[in-house]
Amino acid sequence: MAIEFERKSKVRWSRVLMFIVIIGAVGLATYFLFFAPSPKIELIIPAPLERAGEVSSIQFIDPGQIVRSQAFSVLREYAGDPGPGVLGRPNPFLPL
Q: For 12-69, how does the pLDDT look when each residue is reduced to its tens digit (9 = 90+)?
A: 889 999 999 999 999 999 999 999 887 766 667 777 777 777 777 778 888 888 888 8
DSSP per-residue letters across the chain? -----PPP----HHHHHHHHHHHHHHHHHHIIIIISPPP-GGGG--HHHHHHHHHHTPPPPPHHHHHTSHHHHH----S----------S-TTS--
89 vs 5, higher pLDDT:
89
pTM exceeds 0.75, yes or no: no
Taken in order 69, 71, 76, 79, the sign of the CA dihedral is negative
